[in-house]
Chains A and B, each alone.
Chain A
Amino acid sequence: MTERVTKPVINSRTAKDWGKFVLYEGCTMPRRMVGSRYTTRYVLDKFNFDYVALDDAKCCGAPVMRSGAEDVALECRMYNLELVKKAGVNQIVSGCPGCGSQLKSEEAEKLGIHVYHLIEVLYDLAKNGELYQKDHMRPIPNLKVTAHYPCHMHRGMLIDAQKIHETIVKAFPNLEYVEMEDPDRCCGAGGGVRASQKELSFTIRERKIDCVIETEADIVLAACPFCELQIDEGLRAMPDSGARAITPQSLIAMFFKDIGREVAKL
């Protein structure tokens, strides 16, 4: 992995310190990876975050930008930023790093809007020692966990993915964190490639799947719903692999005793 400068991870804000923010869900989570959509909201509710999910939010513009329509992409970005501004909130927490890096822009800065990725929220909880809720969680099973560093989180939003993932996993007893080879290597889904050239996308993914399998991990964390979709699909296609790709919030949500009851109430 190339040495690089990321923004320093120094935060350890509580839910109260975070204040109100807009949860930007993007396209993939609400329409394809609905399990992660639910667990995102569940975890934020569980830790008493003050957030609002905007039902009128549109595509962030990232896939449109990669498809060659910069003007439409910028319209999409501005629409969403104006929507956040109208809601009277100056923070966006995105569940998808592709959306996060698209929204995190000069335009957002001009409007006084700060854009974060959900994993930064989870990291704060881990650093504060709040993430592991012994009384409210089931016994944590012995699991080997590795992590894929989504390109737009690691390089786009300049988040120190290695430190954050390790801190989150180590917040729980019985979870073992193992770093895969080339964790920051592209999974092949982005840039409109999965949509337009599936064969190429899957060829790029092969290397990622090999790296996951080499770790013998039970779970690979993918803090991007599109990477989650791509890697999980690749792992399921491997008969010898029992591993699953999952977002960090889904792993955390699964430990809570009452998640089943909460889902049943929907």
Chain B
Amino acid sequence: MLGIWDEWNLFAAVAMILASVPFLIMLYASIRGHETTILCMQCQQCVAVCPVRAAQPGKYMGPLGIEVTSRSGTKARAEEGGLFSCTSCMSCVEACPRGLNVKHDMDKFRHALAKKGMGQMDAHKHIIKMASTYGNVFDKQPTTLPDIRTQKDKIIKFLNGFAKITKYEDFKIGEENQ
């Protein structure tokens, strides 16, 4: 039979184990990079401010949905729910009362999904290929930036067009009254 001190020690040991459970969960989540999903209290503030969710109600699952999907690890659901539709505007980050960096999670989750050959559209593959090969995402030209002198015509067109808005009626590059 246990004495009163033995009972107390047993109680203290059990209490310590129970008290350490949340810390152990957080430690595990941090190691796995899931601390944001664990700390999310599902208040839906991120959903309320998401512009993509507003544009696609019912189709885009929103930051919270993607966080939950991320936690459960059902990558196919994230793909269906439009993980690659996030514009990375960070409205969710700003709205989160716990200050969780949802955008950071989105990037991580996109990377994990893409590594499994899921989610990416042709445009995403094209962007990666362009940046890797040509150092920019637009033109199939060498890495070096275009010489600004070769862009003279476009610059003139831009300024002449803008002069109409600023109501500079005498503004016309290339003419004497400039």
Can you list, as one digit per residue, whether each of A43-77 has a CB less than 8 Å from chain B (1) or not (0)? 00000000001111111010111111111100010
Interface footprint category on B: 35 or more
Can you list, as one digit per residue, whether each of B134-177 has a CB less than 8 Å from chain A (1) or not (0)? 01111100011110110110111111001101111001111000
- Interchain CB contact under 8 A, A66 and B148: no
- Interchain CB contact under 8 A, B165 and A242: yes
- Interchain CB contact under 8 A, A143 and B166: yes
- Interchain CB contact under 8 A, A196 and B121: yes
**Which residues of B31-52 have CB atoms within 8 Å of chain A's CB atoms?**
49, 51-52
Question: How many angstroms from the CA of A38 to the CA of B122 in the assembled complex?
Answer: 32
**B84: which of A64, A152, A196, A255 is its contact (CB, 8 Å)?**
A196
Question: How many angstroms from the CA of A207 to the CA of B49 in the assembled complex?
Answer: 13
A203 at the interface (CB under 8 A from B): yes
Known: A66-B107, A143-B166. A195 touches B127 (CB 8 A): yes
- Interchain CB contact under 8 A, A155 and B168: no
Residues in A neighbouring B166, C-beta threshold 8 A: 141, 143, 251, 254-255
- Interchain CB contact under 8 A, A72 and B89: no
Question: How many angstroms from the CA of A59 to the CA of B126 in the assembled complex?
Answer: 14
**Which residues of A221-252 have CB atoms within 8 Å of chain B's CB atoms?**
242-244, 246, 250-251
- Interchain CB contact under 8 A, A193 and B85: yes
Question: How many angstroms from the CA of A261 to the CA of B165 in the assembled complex?
Answer: 20
A178 at the interface (CB under 8 A from B): no
**A35: which of B86, B87, B124, B159 is its contact (CB, 8 Å)?**
B159
A151 smallest CB distance to B (angstroms): 4
- Interchain CB contact under 8 A, A204 and B131: no
Q: Smallest CB-CB separation from A67: which chain B residue?
A: B124
**A69: which of B49, B90, B128 is its contact (CB, 8 Å)?**
B128
A10 at the interface (CB under 8 A from B): no
Can you list, as one digit per residue, whether each of B99-139 has a CB less than 8 Å from chain A (1) or not (0)? 00000000110110111000111111111101110011111
Residues in A neighbouring B90, C-beta threshold 8 A: 151-152, 155-156
B132 smallest CB distance to A (angstroms): 6
Interface footprint category on A: 35 or more
A136 at the interface (CB under 8 A from B): no
B178 at the interface (CB under 8 A from A): yes
Question: How many angstroms from the CA of A58 to the CA of B84 in the assembled complex?
Answer: 24
**A67: which of B128, B135, B143 is its contact (CB, 8 Å)?**
B128
- Interchain CB contact under 8 A, A195 and B123: yes
**Which residues of A198-234 have CB atoms within 8 Å of chain B's CB atoms?**
200-201, 203-204, 207, 218-219
**B127: which of A30, A32, A63 is its contact (CB, 8 Å)?**
A63
Residues in A neighbouring B146, C-beta threshold 8 A: 30-31
Residues in B neighbouring A155, C-beta threshold 8 A: 89-91, 93-94
- Interchain CB contact under 8 A, B148 and A41: yes
A172 smallest CB distance to B (angstroms): 11
Question: How many angstroms from the CA of A255 to the CA of B163 in the assembled complex?
Answer: 10
Q: Smallest CB-CB separation from A258: which chain B residue?
A: B178
Question: How many angstroms from the CA of A138 to the CA of B124 in the assembled complex?
Answer: 45
Known: A31-B136, A200-B56, A260-B173. A69 touches B111 (CB 8 A): yes
**A residues in contact (CB < 8 Å) with B:** 2, 4, 25, 27-28, 30-32, 34-35, 37-38, 41, 53-59, 61, 63-72, 76, 138, 141, 143, 151-152, 155-156, 184-186, 188-193, 195-197, 200-201, 203-204, 207, 218-219, 242-244, 246, 250-251, 254-255, 259-261, 263-264, 266
Q: What 18 additional pairs, Cβ within 8 angstroms, besides A31-B136, A35-B154, A186-B89?
A: A2-B95, A27-B137, A41-B148, A66-B88, A67-B125, A69-B111, A70-B111, A151-B90, A152-B88, A152-B90, A185-B91, A190-B88, A191-B86, A204-B52, A246-B162, A254-B166, A263-B155, A266-B152
**B residues in contact (CB < 8 Å) with A:** 49, 51-52, 54-56, 84-91, 93-95, 107-108, 110-111, 113-115, 119-128, 130-132, 135-139, 143-146, 148-149, 151-152, 154-159, 162-163, 165-168, 171-174, 178
CB-defined A-B contacts under 8 Å, sample of 18? A31-B146, A35-B157, A56-B144, A66-B88, A67-B127, A68-B114, A141-B166, A184-B91, A188-B87, A192-B124, A195-B127, A196-B84, A204-B52, A204-B55, A207-B54, A263-B155, A263-B156, A264-B174
